[in-house]
Structure 1
């Protein structure tokens, strides 16, 4: 762009010299302001920030911070935002309407996940010494088995922009204590009240619990957690979402607009224009 501006100025100067003026006008004392380059096109076409579509939905974007199974912010998460395709976000607004009618609100943990984040997970999985969060997130599963058992995968449907991880909270939402790095870890399979004090209603395990107890229909899960999982699935299914049966929190919008495209733009407002 800078070269084009210089060339354009050169053309204008040549034209002025050929106008037959007897004496050129004095040069201005202040040079003109440089021409601004046009704004970059959005890198995630048709995506939105969920809060712009429905600010009532709560967010707790775990991969933008340290409270996750790796124990640090994940590559590609520049801001703690939920980005989704507009179609998925609009459908989620319908879910929120239904949830609120029953005295609950949605809370999202993860939405669009850029491909560099999936690559970060893959690289982490190949470093056996990095297991500082095992005691909470995969206390009964070997780290080397996380991919084979389907708890982590690449590519992931999250990178297509219509998949998200979420739960239900009561309305009004209870307070949630901030995560304190270095605190003693409690297994995500521990009973509610013992595991991390997430303000979610009881779902039987914590979020991102890599354990068969987190399978949506695991028979060991009893009421009220069993009914809470069924409630979330019913609300999401009615709006066109499909559950991944190994994770009670994981849903994909059935009519996703990019079923074969995996995006790599970072999680940031600038990525959606």
Structure 2
């Protein structure tokens, strides 16, 4: 973990508008990580993907914290130019299949990640437990890697999303809500995402009675996954909704500017 002095230094220099380079022991291979407030390589997502529907969960209160998250100043989504271009290709692909992309989160400022960390450390704050983590004691969120001090979202090329069915005018049923903390959110829950085969195996579920998802719900997850992978994104093995541009332009840079419309 970063020391308190490192974070204080980062905060001071960020306020002054400076880019900073810090080296932290917990970063893989002792990589050097850059923190910057430079938004020049980002776009407002809907400028590039006008068909996308936005439901920015961390701007509102329906999220696992139950409050608006720090750094979300407007209900919009930002991405790096490269990620937005690739997502436009995904949108065009799924539109032909009768769907639209629905975005829950994209770029997430470091301030928002810090908010998650403070919330996770406050074990008494469990107001949203019934909705997002009923099977977990909050004390295990760091240990089981639901909460991190750094997030790929902060590098600007990661997006959380689902599909909206233009025929039914509803979200596709994915068999679980966005940001559910549990094995039911894993892409391989009840199926093999590599082959797209539904197996019905819910043995990873920790709930009693055990939860499951249907073959149709699993296939809906696969529709989203196939489209994202076909256009240059890579999945996360614990969240069916989470994808990162494979060739992300800023793999070691974490951004600090707030989420709001960019002035271009």
> Would the TM-score normalized by the shorter structure come out above 0.5?
yes
In the TM superposition, residue 61 of structure 1 has moved relative to its aligned partner by 0.2
Distance 2:145 2:242 in 1: 12
Distance 2:168 2:235 in 1: 24
Could you say which residue in structure 2 is the equivalent of 1:201?
A: 172
User: Does residue 210 of the first structure (1) align with residue 185 of the second (2)?
Assistant: no
Distance 1:259 1:209 in 2: 26
Aligned length: 207
Distance 2:96 2:146 in 1: 32
Deviations 1:177-211 (A, max 9, x none): xxxxxxxxxxxxxxxxxxxxxx4211110110001
Distance 2:172 2:256 in 1: 33
- 1:248 partner SS: strand
Could you say which residue in structure 2 is the equivalent of 1:14?
A: none
Distance 1:235 1:65 in 2: 28
1:167-186 equivalences under 5 Å are 167-172=162-167, 174=169
Deviations 1:68-106 (A, max 9, x none): 000010000000111000100010000011101111111
In the TM superposition, residue 65 of structure 1 has moved relative to its aligned partner by 0.6
In the TM superposition, residue 261 of structure 1 has moved relative to its aligned partner by 0.2
Could you say which residue in structure 2 is the equivalent of 1:61?
A: 56
Could you say which residue in structure 1 is the equivalent of 2:32?
A: none
Deviations 1:36-89 (A, max 9, x none): xxxxxx831210001111210111000001000000100000001110001000
Deviations 1:94-130 (A, max 9, x none): 0011101111111010000000100000001111111
**Aligned structure 1 segments of 4 or more residues deviating by more than 2 angstroms:** none
Tell me how large the CA RMSD over aligned residues is.
1.3
Structure 2 unpaired stretches of 5+: 1-36, 191-201, 203-212
Which protein has the bigger strand share? 2
Which of 237, 246, 255 aligns to 1:254? It is 246
Contact 2:60 / 2:67 at 8 angstroms: preserved in 1? Answer: yes
Could you say which residue in structure 2 is the equivalent of 1:177?
A: none
**Greater Rg, structure 1 or structure 2?**
1
Which of 116, 140, 163 aligns to 2:158? It is 163
Could you say which residue in structure 1 is the equivalent of 2:140?
A: 145
1:1-12 equivalences under 5 Å are none
Contact 2:120 / 2:147 at 8 angstroms: preserved in 1? Answer: no
Structure 1 residues 209 and 46: CA distance shift in structure 2, 3 A: same
